[in-house]
Structure 1
Amino acid sequence: MAQPEFIQPDFMQGSTEEEIHERMMANLPDDIDDMPGGFPYDFTMPAAIEKSEFINYHMARALMIAFPQYAWDDWLDLHGQQVHLPRQEAQHASGHIRITGTAGAEILAGTVFCTPATDSSPSLEFATDEDCTISEEGTVTVAVTAVESGTQSNVAAKTICIMAKPDKAVSEVINDEAVTGGTETESNDDYYDRIAAEYANSMTYLGNDSDYVRWAKEAGAGDCIVVSAADGPGTVKLVLVDRNGQPANETLIKDVYNYIVSPDDRAARLLPTACAKLSCVAATTVKITYECTGLSLDGTTDLEQVKKDFKAAVALVYDKAKNDSLLRYNDVRPLLSEISGVKDFATFTMNGGTTNIKLSQEEYPETGDMVFTE
């Protein structure tokens, strides 16, 4: 949810340069020249400019950073510190690669493997997490983590295929599955949502659904579905997605579990004592394709920007959809009309139709193809 827009209070109104200067001229004695170009007029104008800047810029900013609803960047971080809630840093993607080569050859931790560079993107580097040895069968699978953090470190299957420094003992390397989990630094809007939730929940540790969602997000998850009594009384399952809306990878699943259960430090445990078992799994995502025809734009935007704005808007609807186990057509269709620059459109479909899409308890909607035409 976006932070609310700051509206200047009444006592700051009427503070433009012209309004302030007009009041200053009106307060001059009647026998003093107040005509433009005169000495009093020119002498007081700089003061009016400075006062206007102080009120409309410096005072406005001071009021904004005093409240988390309007604060940003480092100022919002300070509000997060007040409730012991740090901003989520950019995360490194992680996954596994399969190395083929000479049996018995050792691959040290930190060995770098890469994707090939292309005309549109540089080579991406991934380092092995631990030492490993190629087996007698000539292969070994090892965990890797992206050298650079961010969403650009998420790569598709079969794209990590070269070594940064070639080794004669290695004949082939490949990632059989996608490497995921790379995220950008948490945005101000998302961070504010967590701070607001912390205040709203008064930092309870009862183990209700909102607590589990809050704890999962504190550990780095983008969202989660809470399945109570998943394996009987006293058990809870968390179905996780990362901050990109993608199914959580092994690293994120482990981070969320360890953060809540804290198996190595009982004193730091968040999981209520009455809960016998917590399990964390990756969400099953359901791709939703959107098609819109006859888009009429006012010239202030283009199709690519409309797609980008729509994708961001519909992601907020997914939160409600996963709670209701239903993505409603009438919740999604109006989003297109609300996008700046969109005047009208002819047809709009979800997965080829105009009906609601049902979701199972552990399914999370994901935006697939968007075919928008004018």
Structure 2
Amino acid sequence: MADLPQYLQEQTEEEILNRMLDKVPSDIDKSEGSFIWDAQAPVAFMLSEAAIWAQELLRRGFASTAASDTDNFRSAELDLRTAEHGITRRVAVASSGRVVFAGKPGTKVPLGTFVATPADDVSGELAVEFVTTKAVVLDENGAASAAIRAVTPGKNSNVPAGVIQVMFSSVSGITSVTNPEPTRSGADTETDQSLLERFYAKVRSQGTSGNKAQYMQWANEIAGIGGVEVVPLWKGPGTVALYLLDTDKRAASAEIVEAVQQHIDPTRDGQGEGLAPAGPIVTAMPAEEVAIDITVKVQRTQEKPSTLEEIRKLIGDGIQAYLQQIAFNRKDPLVRYTRIAAVLLDIPIIVDYSDLTVNGNTAQQNIEIGSGEVAVLGMVSVSE
């Protein structure tokens, strides 16, 4: 916070008490323990406490200082401040994905069947529950794929592939269940910093009359949105495309895309039934993912023994963080070879590397990401 105003400076208990005692005539005993000192000390304490609360009230009155840097804290004062401009905090979003049931051909798996990841008694990790959103019937091979949604919303509902193995609902004829791909697009309740960023975007870059800034503001009002790219004249005059990312900077889920569509242009006929003005036909869609595959040979340090799997994970985490930073950055739409190389050299247990290829290209060539596309981490192959 900026410097305190003068009237709130030098307001400690000791400073207030000294100023009060200075007002007492010098011929009156005002030493500690005297009647005057004992009478004024409690007053000084209460005035100093009031000054502290005045400082806190001033801090909470501005969006920039009311916002917390702690991800698990939500400032009620920031909610009140942003609500004055019609901006509300986005709620948590449940992840979604698909599972494959195996068992007797012809078995029906009803809508609302519960499946879960196994709980871990050793680590104390709880099971993550999911529910099917559509009934399916096992085919002649004894398999069926069903869409699922997490029971409890939040980022913790994003689970890796192959970990959903438990049938919480008993279905006769089903022998196993698994998720061939990770569940995605789960998001926690919006953090203060994210809400503050959207607040600044609205008050500093006014969206009006259906310009690009306004379409971005409308889309960002939907929970789970992590990025928006607006493409005017997408298929000629009167058409607008909205490419959407989730909070992990991956292609937004079908549920998020549909929520944005219903919010902005539910009828898709230019009638202006949503927030979009009458005339333009708005189409919301997930961003197109461009996988970035990495192959590299590394030389490991001898001081800290490590496995290639550990190095592979560190490389994947570093490159994924870089790709998230550049998602929908139209000012520099390149995945840069040098930045990927820098990620490798920033890992302490890697002494050196060679034969780095990006998407099979051995040349030090950047990869351009087109409109509506987002670069995501693909396969990472590490050898010595």
1:327 to partner: Cα distance: 6.7
* Separation in structure 1 between the aligned mates of residue 6 and residue 324 of structure 2, nearest angstrom: 33
1:39 paired to 2:43: no
1:284 paired to 2:279: no
Q: Secondary structure at the match of 2:30?
A: coil
1:12 to partner: Cα distance: 1.1
Aligned residue type for 2:263: Y
Q: Secondary structure at the match of 1:50?
A: helix
Partner in structure 1 of residue 149 of structure 2: 145
Partner in structure 1 of residue 187 of structure 2: 183
1:273 to partner: Cα distance: 3.0
Partner in structure 2 of residue 52 of structure 1: 48
* Separation in structure 1 between the aligned mates of residue 109 and residue 86 of structure 2, nearest angstrom: 41
1:325 paired to 2:338: no
Counterpart pick for 2:280 among 268, 275, 281: 275
1:367 to partner: Cα distance: 8.2
Q: Please, which moves more after superposition, 276-285 or 72-81?
A: 276-285
CA deviations 1:194-236 (Å, max 9, x no partner) are: 22323334552x2222122212211121112223333333333
**Pairs within 5 Å for 1:351-370:** 358-364=368-374
* Separation in structure 1 between the aligned mates of residue 23 and residue 324 of structure 2, nearest angstrom: 53
Aligned residue type for 1:43: A
* Separation in structure 1 between the aligned mates of residue 278 and residue 293 of structure 2, nearest angstrom: 39
CA deviations 1:270-291 (Å, max 9, x no partner) are: 23333234241234266699x9
* Separation in structure 1 between the aligned mates of residue 85 and residue 160 of structure 2, nearest angstrom: 38
Pair 278,109 (structure 1): closer, same or farther in 2 beyond 3 Å: same
* Separation in structure 2 between the aligned mates of residue 67 and residue 28 of structure 1, nearest angstrom: 39
**Pairs within 5 Å for 1:218-229:** 218-220=221-223, 221-229=225-233
Q: In percent, how many aligned pairs have the same letter?
A: 29
Partner in structure 2 of residue 170 of structure 1: 174
Q: Secondary structure at the match of 1:168?
A: coil
**Pairs within 5 Å for 1:211-222:** 211-220=214-223, 221-222=225-226
Q: Please, which moves more after superposition, 253-262 or 127-136?
A: 127-136
Aligned residue type for 1:113: V
Aligned residue type for 1:51: L
**Pairs within 5 Å for 1:72-151:** 72=67, 73-118=75-120, 119-120=122-123, 121-151=125-155
Counterpart pick for 2:236 among 210, 227, 232: 232
Pair 327,149 (structure 1): closer, same or farther in 2 beyond 3 Å: same
Q: Secondary structure at the match of 2:66?
A: coil
Partner in structure 1 of residue 211 of structure 2: 208
* Separation in structure 2 between the aligned mates of residue 16 and residue 351 of structure 1, nearest angstrom: 62
* Separation in structure 2 between the aligned mates of residue 367 and residue 35 of structure 1, nearest angstrom: 72
| Contact 1:227 1:238 (C-alpha < 8 Å) held by counterparts | yes
Q: Please, which moves more after superposition, 238-247 or 278-287?
A: 278-287
CA deviations 1:138-176 (Å, max 9, x no partner) are: 332221111111111001222212201443311221222
Pair 113,69 (structure 1): closer, same or farther in 2 beyond 3 Å: same
* Separation in structure 1 between the aligned mates of residue 79 and residue 170 of structure 2, nearest angstrom: 44
| Contact 1:321 1:328 (C-alpha < 8 Å) held by counterparts | no
1:248 paired to 2:252: yes
1:180 to partner: Cα distance: 0.6
Pair 171,242 (structure 1): closer, same or farther in 2 beyond 3 Å: same
| Contact 1:317 1:331 (C-alpha < 8 Å) held by counterparts | no
Partner in structure 1 of residue 304 of structure 2: none
1:27 paired to 2:23: yes
1:70 to partner: Cα distance: 2.7
| Contact 1:322 1:363 (C-alpha < 8 Å) held by counterparts | no
Partner in structure 1 of residue 382 of structure 2: none
Q: How many residues align?
A: 335
* Separation in structure 2 between the aligned mates of residue 285 and residue 162 of structure 1, nearest angstrom: 32
Pair 320,110 (structure 1): closer, same or farther in 2 beyond 3 Å: closer
1:137 to partner: Cα distance: 4.3
Aligned residue type for 2:81: H
Q: TM-score scaled by structure 1?
A: 0.75
* Separation in structure 1 between the aligned mates of residue 2 and residue 62 of structure 2, nearest angstrom: 10
Pair 327,75 (structure 1): closer, same or farther in 2 beyond 3 Å: farther
* Separation in structure 2 between the aligned mates of residue 114 and residue 18 of structure 1, nearest angstrom: 60
* Separation in structure 2 between the aligned mates of residue 316 and residue 179 of structure 1, nearest angstrom: 18
Pair 104,314 (structure 1): closer, same or farther in 2 beyond 3 Å: closer
RMSD: 4.0
Show structure 2 runs of 5+ residues with no match.
Answer: 68-74, 302-317, 341-350, 380-384
